[in-house]
Amino acid sequence: MATFNFELGELPPEAQKVREEIRDFLARTLGGTSATKRALSWGGFDREFSRKLGEAGFIGMTWPKKYGGHERSALERYVVLEETLAAGAPTSAHWVADRQSGPLLLRFGTEEQRRRFLPRIAKGELAFAIGMSEPDSGSDLASIRTRAERVEGGYRVNGTKIWTSNAHISDYAIALFRTKVVPDKKHEGLSQFLVDLKSEGIGIRPIIDLAGGHHFNEVHFQNVFVPDDMLVGKDGDGWKQVTTELAFERSGPERYLSSVQLVIELIREAGAEPGERAAVVIGRLTAHMATLRQMSLSVAGMLQAGQNPNLEAAVVKDVGTSFEQEIPEVVHALLGIEPRLGSGSQFERVFGYLVEHAPSFSLRGGTREVLRGIIARGLGLR
């Protein structure tokens, strides 16, 4: 039977040095940003911040210098991710491109695509969206129906993507389309494309979430022309490629740190001498966080080594999002304070934001049930 492969390791001295650099950068750049803004975590979208972060060399950190990268290790990059999340920096304008679109192009893109897109991503100039889910295909991603049909010089795309975060404020999407219908073999005939979101025939309609916010969208494609040079990898290899992309998407520290501002506020609220119950809760949350961090770091190492740690990434996301969802509940049980949004203390507002948003943590990037299916299959149990 297969087993999990989580190798534990220490952060090297150069990663500790980067920690000082990024902390210094964040302290200078974020200044007096309020706790409520910091609670948005990697949901905050601010192109100006992303540009400054890129300028300082903190985007595309592991990529080759010839593509605008900085040839640093995955562990150095990891430190930057955890520090930006812990500080509640508004990272959304570069997060997807840095985390998955850029690495995907590095692995499967053409030389021309790498030269065209990677340096601009590393400068924090390009925002990418993820075009996977469709109205009838979320968990069962291989059942997508949006068609990209071969025409002279490229493909003609028709169909709809849904839940596309930030499509309305992004420049490009990496989208999965069906280029061929292979009866009874839904994983075949899929291909990935770079899509310019300003292309003629693309209509982007907002979806307002339960908390009243607009971050995701429906993206309609009506006879949209996508040129040949925007195909990523090989026509028909989309499924193999997209699973690599999902491993990039699922294993990072954003899968257990989305509620970290509430932990920080809880520690502030508990003060220098917390009561016994508060000390137990804070100790337990910290221990869980440290364990998740080791697991997530180990996946970062495997990704760096060019492996495809799908199974381990699914474990990190499932356990990590359960943890970050549990934090508002634990805080509620400990303090008995009701969450507030527009009023109340800073602590209550951060709490209110997370109570509203935590349910989505285990949906985005693949639901709990689906991840557990992947884990069971990976362990040879089904």
Encoded one letter per residue, x for contact with ligand FAD by CB under 6 A and - for no contact, window 340-369 reads --------------------x--xx-xx-x
* Residue 204 CB burial class (10 angstroms; 0-12, 13-18, ≥19): middle
Q: Check if the beta carbon of residue 42 is closer than 8 Å to that of residue 253.
A: no
Judged by CB under 6 A, which of 41, 164, 259, 325 binds ligand FAD? 164
Strand pairing of 190-196 and 147-151? unpaired
User: Taking CB under 6 A as the rule, does residue 213 contact ligand FAD?
Assistant: no
Binding region for ligand FAD (CB under 6 A) out of 129-137, 148-156, 232-240, 330-338: 129-137
To which H or E segment does residue 346 belong? helix 346-357
Judged by CB under 6 A, which of 270, 335, 370, 379 binds ligand FAD? 370
Write the DSSP symbol of residue 342.
S
What are 35's two structure tokens? 């706790």
Q: Check if the beta carbon of residue 263 is closer than 8 Å to that of residue 278.
A: no
Report the phi/psi class of residue 247: left, alpha or beta, with left for phi > 0 and alpha for psi in -120 to 50.
alpha
Q: Check if the beta carbon of residue 350 is closer than 8 Å to that of residue 36.
A: yes
Total residues at interface with ligand FAD (CB under 6 A): 19
Judged by CB under 6 A, which of 80, 127, 130, 148 binds ligand FAD? 130
Write the DSSP symbol of residue 99.
I
E strand intervals along 82-146: 128-131
Judged by CB under 6 A, which of 34, 139, 223, 345 binds ligand FAD? 139
User: Taking CB under 6 A as the rule, does residue 216 contact ligand FAD?
Assistant: yes
What are 346's two structure tokens? 């800073």
CB of 261 to ligand FAD, least distance (A): 17
What are 255's two structure tokens? 């899968």
What are 311's two structure tokens? 């199974």
CB of 208 to ligand FAD, least distance (A): 12
User: Taking CB under 6 A as the rule, does residue 87 contact ligand FAD?
Assistant: no
Binding region for ligand FAD (CB under 6 A) out of 57-65, 110-118, 131-139, 343-351: 131-139
Q: Check if the beta carbon of residue 104 is closer than 8 Å to that of residue 113.
A: no
CB of 23 to ligand FAD, least distance (A): 29
| CB closer to ligand FAD, 26 vs 247 | 247
CB-nearest residue to ligand FAD: 138
| CB closer to ligand FAD, 214 vs 268 | 214
Residues of this chain that interact with ligand FAD (CB under 6 A) are 129-133, 138-139, 163-165, 216, 360, 363-364, 366-367, 369-370, 373
